[in-house]
A and B are shown apart, each in its own frame.
Chain A
Amino acid sequence: MSWFSHPKLPAPVQAYVDATPKRIGGKRPVEDLHFLVIDAETTGFNVQTDKILSIAAIHTEHGQILLGRSKSWLVFQDHVAVNEAVRVHGILPSDTKNGQPESQVMEELLPELHGTILVGHHVGFDAALLDVALYRRFGIHLRNPILDTASLAMQAIDAFARTGYANQRPPSLDEVCAHCGIAMMDRHTAAGDAYTTAELFLLLCARLRQRKKRAIVAGDLPLTSV
């Protein structure tokens, strides 16, 4: 524990902090890293006001998705409006009543985050919401490094490579999957999208491996943080 960390953290939170370095050494083989692929369905697209309705987390280690350890939660949120987002994921205000309170979901999710790199498609938004929710519950910020499969796709697949064109936007999950021939599983559910993203992530790593003609290391991945 470093001297500037929060003095009186509860044990589970301290464990998370201890187990989760903010940076990953660039030379560490990707094969040895632990990734957590996440996807969240939300009430909308505003980090400050919108909330998580459901979230799924899938572990990948040694280049394999571990289904036995994958988890998903439905989150109870008060005052949910039927808006554009609801039309996409189809989680109705009545459904969220069956969910668990957000604080409890964060307690269950926290141990899953230990020492992982968070992976997702356009994961920045999901990670930001998660960061807010963690702060609400534990008063800490998300520490995990973040990897966006949209950025990874731009790096691993020529069709999505950066063009320098100012208005180029990162490819959507549908676009990348269509290009790679990945079948989407239960689109617009947290679990389905997380699984699809996990498969895509493994494929992109394999493509990168093939392109570099060597085992890839953390430094090959476009890692960021919240």
Chain B
Amino acid sequence: MAANVIPERIAEALRRFPPFSMLPEADVRALAAEATVRVMVAGERVWKQGDAPGNELLFLARGRVEYVWQVEERSELVDVRDVGDVLGLTALLKAEPMRVTAQVVEDSVLFGLPWLPLKALLEVHDAARNYARRHLFWATRVGGVVALPEPTEDTIAGRAKNILQAHLDGAQTIQPRPGVNILTCTPEDSIHSAASLMAARRLPSILVIDSERRPIGIVTNGTLVQEVVVGSVSKDDPVKRIMVSPVVTVSAGSSATAALLVMLRRRIGQVCVTADGTTNSPVLDICSEKDLLAQSGHHPAGLLREFRNARSPARFRELCDDVEKIARSYLEAGVSAIFLGQMCAELYDEMVQRLLVLTAEELAEAGTPLPKVSWAWMSVGSDGRREQILRTDMDNALVFASSGVTDQDEQTRKALLGLASRVVAKLVDAGFARCQGGVMASNPRWCRTTSEWIEEMESLNAHTDGDELLRALVLYDMRFVAGDAVVADIVRKSVIDSFARNNELQHRLAELIVDTAPPLNFFGRWVVEKLGGRQEGFDIKQRGMAPLRDAARLLTIHHGLTQRHSTGGRWDELRRNVPRLHELAPLARDSYDVLLRLRTLNGLRRGDSGRYIDPASLTKLERAQVANIFDVVRMVQDSVKLEFSLAHRA
């Protein structure tokens, strides 16, 4: 009998989609060999709500099936199954009747796969099982109770190797710095003069060269200590008496990482770069560990140093471009967007501090020094939550100590606004967009005294209008960046207090969270909505991230957990401190992480904020992931409803 190609074709079709893409090829082929195939046309039903699950899992090879839930005399569209989706998994896994009716809306080809062997496979293969388990979440749409998996702490450890990978991928070659002034001397120079040069330039070593600039030896701090301080060599002797020779050399254009390894292995602090990589050609540059670290695939530590030394607007822009490059390579390597946000916040904070110092110097030189008043520069909004990875929108504010005299405060404000508008202009030069809502320290509304902020926060109540409420929420997510931390803390305490003691206000925030209805799923370019509508393009920020972000803020306020600034941190805190949220909080955190990552990558691709996603650009796995996240959003909303006893809404 000839080898049968059909099961092979079926296996190929299956393996393009999860969970089959997560199972060994041979096992999928074995499933395919026992598969059944059925064809149904639009208008037919695959099964009715209440039917028993049978012994096969269905895979939609072609067509489209809608899940309709009959509840209390009405029927509601709860999900759409598209090519590559599985049907009936929940009922099979839980051995319970079908919760919905599966209605064929486009002529469909369904593969039936034997459930028992598939179930056995899912039990052994972790990734596929996790996929299947997450798949169960959709049942919450039809009143199902889902057992949430016990949270694990593997998110960080599992990703460590990927960070290394990102470095190796981004690793650069050694580029001699053009025009760099290398510290050199001749072998006949005295040790004292060589050491003086090192001290004057604050460099740890000096290169000894011949008349054709070829390296013949090196003198380092270590050599000086060993030979002159501890040993008996006179500092008036020529350097050739103590220089270390031969010099370790690498060629220009070789791997920076490899050079680092050479230094580690030979226990030396610097390598010499020459044209041909030997001591027979003139020296081009000398690189220390730190120089190489900064070059060996953009290392954030290297960038931090660069920010500290940068001066010109062009340089800041270049460095911010580098931050984005790192962000992209980290995200593509699967690094958590929440961690990445924390990292970018450190780098951008360093830059803002540097810009403030430079600007203060400029003002002093221009004869208008800053008044001697305590002030603090704060990041607010997404920047305050450390979620600003792209330079889409700056959100910052200033606070300064009130003198108690209005005129004097106005004078101080004027001076600080001068500082802020210069810094904001520099941020714009570095590639940041001005905040559309005017949330910038250069705006008088966001540059206020401690007492003005306190007064505004204390006036918050359940009837505060939407703009004021939004303003308060943006301020709530504040984080001290530079200046005097004491004044920033006064504002922070005031805003937290005003939210914490006001139950009506919290109630109103809860209603806002519950009001956003997450969509059901994606189909092609379309977003499938609960009420049967569809729309093109999808606002991932408003529909997915906002409820998770706002719920994290509100629930931490409600439970008096105010230590953490970021959405991820808030969910962590909720998980640790609120037993009821022990399982849900990590899911919400991961969901937010995935959305933030998706949005950032989308933004990098499209060169904008990335908040509008074209569903067609998502892979099958991403779609499944996002559809799962909508289910988590629903669970979070239910949890908020429960917490604030809100009436059930459709």
- A206 CA to B516 CA, complexed, in Å: 41
When A203-B39, A206-B39 are in contact, do A191 and B4 touch as well, CB less than 8 Å? yes
B4 and A71 form a contact (CB under 8 A): yes
Q: Tell me the bound Cα distance from A68 to B1 in angstroms.
A: 14
Q: Does B7 contact A (CB under 8 A)?
A: yes
A175 beta carbon closer than 8 Å to chain B: no
Does B607 have its Cβ within 8 Å of any Cβ on chain A? no
Contact: B5 with A68, CB < 8 Å?
no
Are A206 and B41 interface neighbours, CB within 8 A? yes
- Complex Cα distance, B2 from A71, in Å, reads 8
Docked complex Cα distance between A99 and B1 (Å): 8
Q: B36's contact among A65, A185, A186, by CB below 8 Å, is which?
A: A65
Binds B, one of A7-15, A135-143, A194-202: A194-202
Q: How far is the CA of A64 from the CA of B35 in the complex (A)?
A: 10
Expressed in whole angstroms, the minimum distance between the Cβ of A37 and any Cβ of chain B is 11
A58 nearest in chain B by CB position: B6
| B interface residues, how many (CB within 8 angstroms) | 24
* Residue contact A64 to B36, C-beta cutoff 8 Å: yes
Instruction: Confirm or deny: A160 has a beta carbon within 8 angstroms of a beta carbon on chain B.
Output: no
Contact A64 B37 (CB under 8 A): yes
- The residue on A at minimum CB distance from B106 is A181
A210 in the interface, Cβ–Cβ < 8 Å? yes
Known: A202-B39, A210-B41. A70 touches B109 (CB 8 A): no
B36 with A67: CB separation less than 8 A: yes
Residue numbers in A under 8 Å from B38 (CB-CB): 63-65, 202
Whether the pair B9, A186 counts as a contact (CB closer than 8 A) is: yes
Q: Which of B2, B33, B34, B37 contacts A199 (CB 8 A)?
A: B37
How far is A64 from B112 in the complex, measured between Cα atoms in Å? 9
State which residues 10-25 of A face B: CB under 8 Å: none
Q: Is the CB of B9 within 8 A of A185?
A: yes
**Band of interface residues on A:** 35 or more
Q: Does A207 contact B (CB under 8 A)?
A: yes
Flag if A70 contacts B39 (CB, 8 Å). Answer: no
Query: How many angstroms from the CA of A54 to the CA of B3 in the assembled complex?
Result: 12
Decide if A180 touches B107 in the complex (CB within 8 Å).
Answer: yes
Do A191 and B6 touch across chains, with their CB atoms under 8 A apart? yes
Chain A contacts for B546, CB-based, 8 A: none
Across the two chains, which residue of chain B brings its CB closest to A201? B39
Return B113 CB to nearest CB of chain A, in Å. Answer: 10
Complex: chain A residue closest to B38, CB-CB: A64
Q: By DSSP majority rule, is chain A's interface helix, strand, loop, or mixed?
A: mixed
Q: Separation in Å of the B522 CB from the closest CB of chain A? A: 21
Q: Is there an interface contact between B39 and A210, defined as CB atoms closer than 8 Å?
A: no
Contact of A66 with B by CB under 8 A: yes
Identify the closest chain B residue to A72 (Cβ): B2
Given A67-B37, A108-B1, are A203 and B32 neighbors across the interface (CB < 8 Å)?
no
Q: Are B107 and A203 in touch, CB under 8 angstroms?
A: yes
Contact in complex: A72, B37 (CB < 8 Å): no
A39→B67 CA distance, assembly (Å)? 37
Contact B4 A72 (CB under 8 A): yes
B10 close to A (CB within 8 Å): yes
What chain A residues lie within 8 Å of B358 (beta carbons)? none
Known: A199-B39, A206-B40, A210-B44. A67 touches B6 (CB 8 A): yes
Across the interface, B2 reaches (CB within 8 A) one of A66, A183, A191, A203, namely: A191
**Which residues of chain B come closer than 8 Å to A35, judged between CB atoms?**
none
Please, what's the 1-or-0 string for A157-193, where 1 marks a CB less than 8 Å from any CB in chain B?
A: 0000000000000000000000011010110010110
Chain A residue with Cβ nearest B35: A67
Q: Closest chain B residue to A183 by CB distance?
A: B62
A-B pairs, 10 with minimum CB distance: A202-B39, A65-B37, A206-B41, A64-B36, A68-B34, A74-B2, A203-B39, A67-B35, A195-B6, A64-B38
Subset of 11 A-B contacts with CB under 8 Å: A66-B36, A68-B35, A72-B1, A181-B62, A183-B62, A191-B2, A191-B5, A192-B5, A192-B6, A198-B37, A206-B40
